[in-house]
Amino acid sequence: MDYQKIIDDLYLTYKNVDDKGKVASYIPELKKVSSNKFGINLFTLNNQSYGAGNYQEKLSIQSISKVFALTLALKKVGKKIWKRVGVEPSGDPFNSLVQLEFEKGIPRNPFINSGALVVCDVLISSLKNPKSEFLNFVRKLTNSKDIYFNEKVVASEKKHGFVNAAHVNLMKSFKNIKNEIDVVLDLYYYMCSIEMTCEELSKSFLIFANDGVLPYNKERIISLSVSKRINATMQLCGLYDEAGHFAFKVGLPGKSGVGGGIVAILPDLYCITTWSPKLNKKGNSYLGFKVLEEFTTITQSSIF
């Protein structure tokens, strides 16, 4: 399969498509990113990288970080985390508060905001230096030290994060948050502010295509069973209330963020990452979704 040609062709075709999406503006700092950034990267388990466009430029990974957080939390505390967060699709937007009251402060899954906030709470209780240990974990998965938080994005989210604060407060009232509210929000915002390139994101997700083992040094990070479960959770919840559509059209486990990145995995073969900041109504990259759909159609790849 000539992956480079397929990616180049997709890049050229979609670069000029009428993009109906809108850049996330509820975090003012994200609005500053040029809306026509567009990158695609495919990284295979045998260490081949194929890219087009802005695939080596940093983007705000936002909710893609929720997968790293869940992975680290499962490593630290194991399956007891599932007492505090579920694994069902929410069918609601990523920042919806609606279910949380009905379900007594137990978020539907770890990839909506409330779920990720509980995971942050778990990390704070189980790590000595949560921020630096989290960043180092992401660096290790990627095999790169050149990965940092963006303080401006953190400040922007803190200033405008009224709904996230509402989530933590509500969960605290149900006793599903153990640490101080501001401390939990702080780690959450730092996590979301991490900047990585499409290529780095693809590399960092390879463990989920490789049964939990880092391909570059063969170190096992999580068990096969945990890796399978993280992929299952991505498949069902990674694109929020568009996860069904993503399974239907793309056919791979994936995770999106409001910075416009989407990472998807084909177990035993590759990770693919797209970046285009304009989002559809569900908060997922408009072009990224289309490119991934087309890519899996052309390459006939799917987990189904």
- Rounded least distance, CB 30 to ligand GLN, Å: 9
- Rounded least distance, CB 263 to ligand GLN, Å: 12
What CA–CA distance (Å, rounded) separates 272 from 295? 9
- Rounded least distance, CB 193 to ligand GLN, Å: 8
Whose Cβ is closer to ligand GLN: residue 157's or residue 199's?
Answer: 157
Whose Cβ is closer to ligand GLN: residue 62's or residue 210's?
Answer: 62
Whose Cβ is closer to ligand GLN: residue 277's or residue 283's?
Answer: 283
19: left (phi over 0), alpha (psi -120 to 50) or beta: beta
- Rounded least distance, CB 208 to ligand GLN, Å: 18
Q: Which residue is nearest to ligand GLN (CB)?
A: 63
Whose Cβ is closer to ligand GLN: residue 192's or residue 272's?
Answer: 192
Cα R_g (the chain), whole angstroms: 18
- Rounded least distance, CB 196 to ligand GLN, Å: 14
What CA–CA distance (Å, rounded) separates 252 from 208? 12
Whose Cβ is closer to ligand GLN: residue 7's or residue 258's?
Answer: 258
- Rounded least distance, CB 213 to ligand GLN, Å: 27
**What angle is formed at CA 4 by the lines to CA 9 and CA 265, rounded to 5 degrees?**
100
3-state DSSP assignment of residue 265: strand
Strands (E), 219-259: 254-256
Positions touching ligand GLN (CB under 6 A) are 62-63, 94-95, 113, 157, 164, 192, 257-258, 283
Whose Cβ is closer to ligand GLN: residue 191's or residue 214's?
Answer: 191
Work out the number of other CB atoms within 10 angstroms of the CB of residue 225: 11
Burial class (CB in 10 A: 0-12, 13-18, 19+), 273: buried
What CA–CA distance (Å, rounded) separates 292 from 251? 9
Whose Cβ is closer to ligand GLN: residue 156's or residue 179's?
Answer: 156
- Rounded least distance, CB 201 to ligand GLN, Å: 13
